[in-house]
Structure 1
Amino acid sequence: MSLIYTPIYAAILAILMLVLATKVVLTRRKLRIGVGDKGDGAMLKVIRVHGNATEYVPITLILLALAELNGASAYLINSWGIAFVVGRLIHAYGLGRSIGVSFGRFYGTILTWLVILSLAIYLLVTSFMALI
């Protein structure tokens, strides 16, 4: 079985991560900061927006691919994929605007975690069911 839907979400998320990485590079150039954040709040913010994506995107794509390979329906795969992309976009927007509590940070995190948790539960249940 080959992957049909997961590569679409992988490509969209790769583009998002490149956009976020570009913001880091441009901020570094503007502020003349080669490594780290040098205590600058703007630099720290763009680093964390990108870093947060790098923390959640890989594991979610692995889980999504495994669910697709294990026969999850197109409806489930696309529901998870869309929810995750939306979660990452609103999280990046929210954190990019404010390091404090915001709608984007809160709901982006909730969507991200719900997708990861539901994928993990799906994989545990389907894997144990296959053993029976």
Structure 2
Amino acid sequence: MITALYAALLGLMFIALSIKVIAKRRQFQVGIGSKGEMALERAIRVHGNFAEYVPFALLLLFLAEYSGLAPLYLHILGITLLLGRLSHAWGVRQLKEPLKFRMFGTLVTFGVMLLSALAIIALYSLKLLVA
């Protein structure tokens, strides 16, 4: 149930990112690709990067929850993932990109994925030892 909350929040963010791409496409009158418009290209990449990483991060978070990870840790991971994606999106969408926001978002996203994966492995191993 906890993962569902973060999936919903991140789903809203995905819709917002989609709307930003659509708005930029309308602004520059571009149907496919970016035609070299950097603001559109950045909006496309923010949206695309989100679509590439968030579903797998949420899957790992869900599997950690299903495996029995404590609610406190799930909330920490979920909030951290949300903050990381906000940081990444904000950094990448800037034409004069402050790289620290992109890097922070990337590292945080990877960290959430790594910690979720390790939690799943640890919880699975613990269940094997107890059984």
Q: Considering the TM-score relative to the shorter chain, is it more than 0.5?
A: yes
Counterpart check, 1:72 vs 2:73: no
Equivalent-residue separation in structure 1 for 2:97 and 2:75 (angstroms): 31
Percent same amino acid at aligned positions? Answer: 37
Q: Following TM superposition, by how much is the alpha carbon of 1:100 offset from its aligned partner in structure 2, in angstroms?
A: 4.4
Aligned equivalent of 1:61, options 27, 34, 58: 58
Q: TM-score, normalised by structure 1?
A: 0.92
**Residues 20 and 43, structure 2, Cα contact 8 Å, conserved in 1:** yes
Q: TM-score, normalised by structure 2?
A: 0.93
RMSD in angstroms over aligned alpha carbons? 1.3
Equivalent-residue separation in structure 2 for 1:34 and 1:103 (angstroms): 31
SS in 1 for 2:31: coil
- Structure 1 pair 24/103, CA: closer, same or farther in 2 (3 Å)? same
Q: Following TM superposition, by how much is the alpha carbon of 1:131 offset from its aligned partner in structure 2, in angstroms?
A: 2.6
Q: Name 1:103's counterpart in structure 2.
A: 100
Amino acid at match of 1:43: L
Amino acid at match of 2:36: G
Which moved further from structure 2: 14-23 or 38-47? 38-47
Q: Following TM superposition, by how much is the alpha carbon of 1:43 offset from its aligned partner in structure 2, in angstroms?
A: 1.3
- Structure 1 pair 109/99, CA: closer, same or farther in 2 (3 Å)? farther
- The count of corresponding residues between Structure 1 and Structure 2 is 129
Amino acid at match of 2:34: D
Q: Following TM superposition, by how much is the alpha carbon of 1:88 offset from its aligned partner in structure 2, in angstroms?
A: 0.3
Q: Name 1:127's counterpart in structure 2.
A: 124
Unaligned runs of 5+ in 2: none
Paired residues for 1:83-94 under 5 Å: 83-94=80-91
Counterpart check, 1:52 vs 2:49: yes
Paired residues for 1:15-30 under 5 Å: 15-30=12-27
Which moved further from structure 2: 36-45 or 25-34? 36-45
